[in-house]
Amino acid sequence: MSSEVSINFQGEYIHITHQPDFKLTLENLKKFWTELSKACKKHKCLKAFHEGPAPKREMSLTDAFQSGQKVATCIPGLKMAICFYGYVTDETTTLFINTAYNRGVQVEFFQDKREALEWLGIKDTD
């Protein structure tokens, strides 16, 4: 996981990027949520921005539900903008978003970095 994903604190938010071959699987996401939780605690920050090319996804609806539960358990109060360029949201994505939201975590998917950062309340400096 560590070589596939980079997690860096940017002062106001945690910036996450991933390698082009990153896969969304339940096992990868369980590890990811644990690593992000450590970064959130270390930096006392509950805002995260994850960007990169659309990853391959190998997840069932049950996996999406479990991932939504896991993020809420690991990082209560997280607000996360996800900008996967070329990613098309679907019912699996919606189930993940709703599961997390119903447990106190806000997650939204974007195609535009500026919109994603604005949603987080961050001024884009690029």
Distances (CA, A) of 96 to 41, 44, 102, 107: 23, 24, 10, 9
Within 13 Å and on the Cβ side, how many CA atoms surround 20? 0
Burial label, 39 (beta-carbon count in 10 A; 0-12, 13-18, 19+): middle
Q: Could you list the residue range(s) of the whole structural domain that residue 64 is in?
A: 5-120
- pTM of the predicted model as reported, rounded to 2 decimal places: 0.92
pLDDT digits (tens, 9 = 90+) for 94-103: 999 999 999 9
pLDDT, position 2: 52
pLDDT above 70: percentage of residues in the chain? 95
Identify the CA nearest to 16 among candidates 28, 39, 121.
Answer: 39
Total domains in the chain come to 1
Q: Is the residue at 28 inside a domain?
A: yes
Give the domain CATH number at 116. Answer: 3.30.750.24
